[in-house]
């Protein structure tokens, strides 16, 4: 004798109505026959027999409402070689999802507290040996050198994207790579972001280490499903089996006079997502050291460059293998009065603002985030404990911004140290306008930063 | 075969039993028995999964493969060592056909630590590096560029492997599928696109969603050969699969196989399937069932006796019951697992 139980027919069903019996006592049934119609919270469903047998008894009459999932609704006798009833059919197994106990299970109960997230690793930049020669280099060339060095080191590293090969890169970041590594490793793609982002993910699953260049991050919105759903989540969804070592890189943030669809900072979009790392350097040395780290990383890394910064020149240490840790901010200037935090092109703005403030006797401490995820909140909080004041600066929109996250982190960890509320300087909350004057108004300026620093110091 | 000939050779097979002369050597007999066993294993596994869902042991979305068994079993029979498989969320059959353990798959469905993804993936997201099964992807069409990328890695490393990329008639309308076709042919990637046309994308019939309903023609704009196959006949699938795989393995690029098939159950467990008639389903079940028709063919050909099939049935039922017990009795993942495997 096997009991037929009230089935759960939707992810949310806990009870239902037995709308209609299609069989009566004594009827022979075989697999696939409709036994009954059941009204769930979503629809009326036909409920089929799974085994052959004869309906011995109907336990719940037609029209009964509020029949709990897993309650016996009929009894089936089986004969022939399948007489031995399936053990899961004869007993009611407590469900982790439906029925009694469900609320506790849903709230992460089961008698266990929700465990704390693991603490971030303590990272430090590698020491640069004394006497190391520095070469002045553009950010563009530093990025190119990082890719070339990693491609020489590891044959599984390759670069794909629009115009990366024959055209030498839309912004000339991949200049010379085709000549050195050939068309098998430097691959021009069609204009098909979602497609080639997914091809990159598949290639990473297949054991390669792809660098996928987006001509700009604006176009990567076409591919964001592959970046998040396929690249970032698969390690977790596979219980640690898979992993996706891939770098998505390209220019990010407002350029100049290209208007709304080509001027956007995506740092906070990607920073939101667990399962990947987000890097956004300003200096050439950081661009090189972090891109090399990104290519070697076992995780998807979002590498946010900046078109306007490509042509800026900075010193880069002349070392054979200069690799920096992802997730470590850098204090680029020490100061006692106010902490200014920025990433990418905004780092240049806080440096200029600090010079102006210095003339008025205000010593600003400057932090270059370099990485957005993991975010080095330790370095920020340590600074705030010293200065008691913080201003964040970014090109992106103000709502749910990197500055919002930093402000929350500082309030959480250093509330008692603050002598003023954290101030956030961000791009204005509008699509980027084209007109030169409006564009200027939409972006943070040095004057904005100077004014904010004075405001948190309560000075005019 | 020249590209044009291959395209011209595309036929429009209709579902139905197929009587072809087979060589009766030992190898083919063993293969036929394996086909039957594998199809029946998937059928019984899926029925059991449906049952466990009904008991609340499996939660969320659960998409059953019942009716489509011949497609994956025939294709898998044509695959070689080291070849890869990637598919969408209706993936239980593919995993079993790849040789993954039914207990491990069922335990993932019940969200237990012994599941293939340690309980963190569920029905739609399972993987096995060991068996070259690359998922199990929940976003319609997103696995198609991924399969193309796996094929890219095969060409890059010259490992001689091909990648079978399965998707449905619904996914066939996704833009990224066309993007993938273009790149696969442009770069001559060793990928077989297996379109499992079960005739309904959730509740939308192909004719209501698709301007060209012969999906094997989808590659024409990209010069990819395509062929329609009776996806209810495991041997027809096997023969078509062998041809397509050889094409890709020889470096000629991608190949499209449109499998004409049918799913008996709803799109997912909570689908009452009101978009088609009961009679339509019964018609396929009674006349074109891939397991019944193939079993009858094997008996008629003298490959097996009725009793052999019954013995196989008992053995498979017992194995699936063991898998279900394993899946219901295994513990849930420990709370500490919440934060593991986010990053490497």
The ipTM, to two decimals, is 0.89
Radius of gyration over alpha carbons of chain A, in Å?
Answer: 30
* Cβ-Cβ contacts under 8 Å, A277 against chain B: 343
Q: Is B284 helix (H, G, I), strand (E, B) or coil?
A: helix
In tens, the pLDDT along A407-446 reads 999 999 999 999 999 999 999 999 999 999 999 999 999 9
* Cβ-Cβ contacts under 8 Å, B152 against chain A: 199, 202-203, 206, 208
pLDDT at B319 over 60: yes
Q: Is B62 helix (H, G, I), strand (E, B) or coil?
A: coil
Q: Do B51 and A50 touch (CB under 8 A)?
A: yes
Q: Do A10 and B338 touch (CB under 8 A)?
A: no
Per-residue confidence band for A353, with pLDDT thresholds at 50, 70 and 90: very high
Q: Do A206 and B310 touch (CB under 8 A)?
A: no
CB pairs under 8 A between A and B: 256
Q: What whole-number distance in Å separates Cα of residue B69 and Cα of residue B293?
A: 12
Q: Which of A14, A162, A213, A262 is catalytic?
A: A262
Q: What whole-number distance in Å separates Cα of residue A1 and Cα of residue A81?
A: 14
Q: How far is CA A443 from CA A8, A264, A397, A429, in A?
A: 54, 11, 9, 10
Which domains occur in chain B, in start order? 3-328 (3.40.50.970)
Per-residue confidence band for B184, with pLDDT thresholds at 50, 70 and 90: very high
Mean pLDDT for chain A overall: 91
* Token output for B24: 């009766």
Please give the full DSSP string across A117-151, using - where no structure is assigned.
Answer: PPPPP---PPPPPTT--EEEEEHHHHHHHHHHHHH
- Average pLDDT (B185-212) is 96
- Average pLDDT (B253-278) is 92
Instruction: Supply the pLDDT for residue B24.
Output: 53
Closest alpha carbon to B202 in B135, B147, B140, B146: B140
pLDDT at B5 over 90: no
Q: Do B51 and A89 touch (CB under 8 A)?
A: yes
Q: Tell whether omega for the bond before B327 is within 30 degrees of 0, i.e. cis.
A: no
Mean pLDDT for chain B overall: 92
Instruction: Supply the pLDDT for residue A80.
Output: 52
State the smallest CA–CA distance between residue A73 and chain B in angstroms.
12
Q: Do A82 and B317 touch (CB under 8 A)?
A: yes
In tens, the pLDDT along B89-145 reads 999 999 999 999 999 999 999 999 999 999 999 999 999 999 999 999 999 999 999
Closest alpha carbon to A216 in A179, A187, A259, A157: A259
Helix B290-301 to helix B234-249 angle (10° resolution) is 100
Instruction: Supply the pLDDT for residue A405.
Output: 98
In tens, the pLDDT along A168-191 reads 999 999 999 999 999 999 999 999
pLDDT at B23 over 60: no
State yes or no: is A62 an active-site residue. no
pTM for the full model? Answer: 0.88
Instruction: Supply the pLDDT for residue A95.
Output: 39
Q: Which residues contact A195 (CB under 8 A, 6 or more apart)?
A: A189, B145, B148, B176, B179, B180, B182, B183
Other CB atoms within 10 A of residue A113 CB: 8
Please give the full DSSP string across A57-124, using - where no structure is assigned.
Answer: EE-S-TT---EETT-EEEEEE--GGG-S--HHHHSPPPPSSSSTTHHHHHTT-TT-PPPPPPPPP---
Q: Which of A193, A213, A365, A405 is catalytic?
A: A193
Instruction: Supply the pLDDT for residue A112.
Output: 57
Q: Is A373 helix (H, G, I), strand (E, B) or coil?
A: strand
Q: How far is CA B128 from CA A241, B55, B101, B105, B141, in A?
A: 7, 27, 10, 10, 20
Alpha helices in chain B (DSSP H): 3-8, 26-54, 69-78, 92-97, 102-109, 143-157, 175-186, 206-209, 234-249, 278-288, 290-301, 306-329
State yes or no: is A193 an active-site residue. yes
Lowest mean pLDDT among A103-117, A376-390, B135-149: A103-117
Q: What whole-number distance in Å separates Cα of residue A24 and Cα of residue A80?
A: 21
Handedness of CA B33, B39, B42, B43 (dihedral sign): negative
């Amino acid at each position: 004798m096997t009991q037929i139980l009230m089935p759960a027919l939707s992810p949310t069903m806990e009870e239902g109505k037995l709308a209609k019996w299609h069989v009566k006592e004594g009827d022979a049934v075989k697999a696939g026959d409709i036994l009954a119609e059941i009204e769930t919270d979503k629809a009326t469903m036909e409920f089929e027999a799974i085994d052959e047998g004869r309906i011995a008894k109907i336990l719940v009459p037609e029209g009964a409402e509020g029949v709990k999932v897993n309650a016996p609704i009929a009894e089936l006798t089986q004969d022939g070689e399948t007489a031995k009833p399936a053990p899961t059919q004869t007993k009611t197994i407590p469900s982790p999802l439906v029925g009694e106990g469900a609320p506790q299970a849903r709230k992460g109960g089961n008698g266990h507290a929700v465990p704390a997230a693991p603490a971030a690793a303590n990272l430090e930049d590698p020491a640069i040996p004394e006497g190391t020669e520095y070469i002045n280099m553009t950010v563009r060339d530093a990025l190119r050198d990082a890719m070339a060095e990693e491609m020489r080191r590891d044959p599984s590293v390759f670069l794909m994207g629009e115009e990366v090969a024959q055209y030498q890169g839309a912004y000339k970041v991949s200049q010379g790579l085709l000549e050195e590594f050939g068309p098998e490793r430097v691959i021009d793609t069609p204009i098909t972001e979602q497609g080639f982002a997914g091809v990159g993910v598949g290639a990473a699953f297949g054991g390669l280490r792809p660098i996928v260049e987006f001509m700009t991050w604006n176009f990567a919105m076409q591919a964001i499903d592959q970046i998040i759903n396929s690249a970032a989540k698969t390690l977790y969804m596979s219980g640690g089996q898979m992993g996706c070592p891939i770098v998505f890189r390209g220019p990010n943030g407002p350029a100049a006079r290209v208007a709304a669809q080509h001027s956007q900072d995506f740092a906070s979009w990607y920073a939101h997502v667990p399962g990947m790392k987000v890097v956004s350097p300003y200096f050439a040395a950081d661009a090189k050291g972090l891109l090399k780290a990104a290519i070697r990383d076992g995780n998807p890394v979002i590498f946010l460059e900046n078109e306007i910064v490509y042509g800026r020149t900075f010193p880069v240490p002349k070392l054979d293998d200069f690799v920096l840790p992802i997730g470590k901010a850098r204090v680029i200037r020490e100061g006692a009065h106010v902490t200014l935090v920025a990433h990418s092109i905004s780092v240049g703005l806080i440096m200029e603002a600090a010079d102006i403030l210095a003339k008025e006797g205000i010593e600003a401490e400057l932090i270059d985030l370099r990485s957005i995820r993991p975010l080095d909140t330790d370095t920020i909080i340590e600074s705030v404990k010293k200065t008691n004041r913080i201003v964040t600066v970014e090109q992106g929109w103000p709502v749910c911004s990197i500055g919002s996250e930093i402000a929350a982190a500082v309030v959480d960890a250093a509330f008692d140290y603050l002598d003023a509320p954290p101030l956030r300087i961000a791009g204005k909350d509008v699509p980027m306008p084209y007109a030169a004057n409006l564009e200027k108004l939409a972006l943070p300026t040095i004057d904005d930063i100077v004014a904010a620093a004075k405001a948190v110091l309560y000075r005019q | 075969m020249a590209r044009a000939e291959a395209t011209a050779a595309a036929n429009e097979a209709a579902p139905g039993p197929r009587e072809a002369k087979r060589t009766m050597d030992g190898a083919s007999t063993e293969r036929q028995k394996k086909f039957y066993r594998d199809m029946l294993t998937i059928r019984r596994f899926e029925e059991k999964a449906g049952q466990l869902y009904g008991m609340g042991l499996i939660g969320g979305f659960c998409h059953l493969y019942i009716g489509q068994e011949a497609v994956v079993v025939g294709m898998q029979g044509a695959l070689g060592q080291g070849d890869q498989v990637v598919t969408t969320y209706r993936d239980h059959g593919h995993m079993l056909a790849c040789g993954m353990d039914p207990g491990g798959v069922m335990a993932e469905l019940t969200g237990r630590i012994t599941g293939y993804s340690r309980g963190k993936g569920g029905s739609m997201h399972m993987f096995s590096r060991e068996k070259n099964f690359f998922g199990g992807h929940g976003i319609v069409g997103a696995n198609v560029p991924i399969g193309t990328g796996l094929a890219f890695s095969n060409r890059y490393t010259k490992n001689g492997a091909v990648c079978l990329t399965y998707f449905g008639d619904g996914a066939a309308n996704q833009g990224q599928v066309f993007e993938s076709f273009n790149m696969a042919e442009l770069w001559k990637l060793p990928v077989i696109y297996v379109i499992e046309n079960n005739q309904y994308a959730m509740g939308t019939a192909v004719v209501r969603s698709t301007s060209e309903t012969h999906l094997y023609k989808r590659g024409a704009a990209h010069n990819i050969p395509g062929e329609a196959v009776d996806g209810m006949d495991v041997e027809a699938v096997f023969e078509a699969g062998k041809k397509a795989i050889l094409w890709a393995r020889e470096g000629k690029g991608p190949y499209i196989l449109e499998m004409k098939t049918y799913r008996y159950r709803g799109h997912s467990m909570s689908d009452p399937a009101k978009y088609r008639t009961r009679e339509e389903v019964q018609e396929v079940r009674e006349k074109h069932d891939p397991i019944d028709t193939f079993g009858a063919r094997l008996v008629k050909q003298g490959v097996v006796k009725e009793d052999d099939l019954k013995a196989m049935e008992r053995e498979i039922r017992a194995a699936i019951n063991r898998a279900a017990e394993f899946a219901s009795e295994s513990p849930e993942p420990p709370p500490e697992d919440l934060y593991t495997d986010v990053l490497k």
